[in-house]
Amino acid sequence: MRSRSVSDVVLSGTVDVPVPPARLTADWEREISSRLALEPGDVEPLPLARARARWPDYRHCVQAVSDWTRTLGLPEVLASSEVALMACRGARYHHDGAQYGGAAFCNLFLSEDKELDVHFPSTGQRIPLARGTVVIFDTGQPHAVIRRRSSGFDAADFAPGQDCTQVFLTWELPIEDAHVGRTLRIAFDIDAPTASQVDEEQVRMNGEPASVCPASGEWRRAG
């Protein structure tokens, strides 16, 4: 296990991606309602292989994000990164460092503007979500998808019958890629003695494993 810092760099932009075909969005809606049955705050995967078969502009979407990342000094990083298709009905505040500690996320949002923001409480950044919004951030950075008028995550903001689902592509960018580490200003091997003694990924603060309050995004002691 290798130690590293958690980056407070959040990169965002907008790329030009076509509206997904109607039959594809209908398929997503059926999948979300019948199989995923998303509750407020849930984030779950959708079948990417099936979507690609019905999505002639998938390559265009990938190319648009690839072109954008290249302008940030991240050449060809998407080509070697794992990609998944995800859906969320909002998202509680959380970090993903315990599962994806070796990666940064690059997310391309495919749904229209539904008055939702991705919020990074530690940095204060709120990024409006709409088709073509693209965001890169450290998996250890707390984040949530919340209502634009809200100051935190409230399940009541995502009540049944409301159109508040976002579909997005997400790539796992390897932190140890020199371009990714440099762009996000990651410092490595900052706590080698502790890293040598743990057997699972975790985010630590003040020497203790840390978790995130799901409503506010504030750091707290894990457990």
Structural domains in the chain, sorted by start: 10-183 (2.60.120.10)
pLDDT computed for residue 161 by the predictor:
87
pLDDT computed for residue 196 by the predictor:
86
- Rounded to the nearest angstrom, the gap between the alpha carbon of residue 71 and the centroid of all alpha carbons in its chain is 20
**pLDDT tens for residues 32-69?**
999 998 999 999 999 999 999 999 999 999 999 999 99
pLDDT computed for residue 206 by the predictor:
85
Other Cβ atoms less than 10 A from the Cβ of 210: the count is 21
**pLDDT tens for residues 112-144?**
999 999 999 999 999 999 999 999 999 999 999
Q: Work out whether strand 116-120 and strand 143-147 pair parallel, antiparallel, or are unpaired.
A: antiparallel
Mean predicted confidence (pLDDT) in 95-114:
96
**2 three-class SS:** coil
The vertex-57 CA angle with 53 and 145, nearest 5°, equals 95
**Residue-averaged pLDDT of the chain:** 95
Q: What is the CA radius of gyration of the chain?
A: 17
Q: Compute the half-sphere exposure of residue 9: CA atoms within 13 Å on the CB side of its CA.
A: 17
pTM greater than the 0.75 cutoff: yes
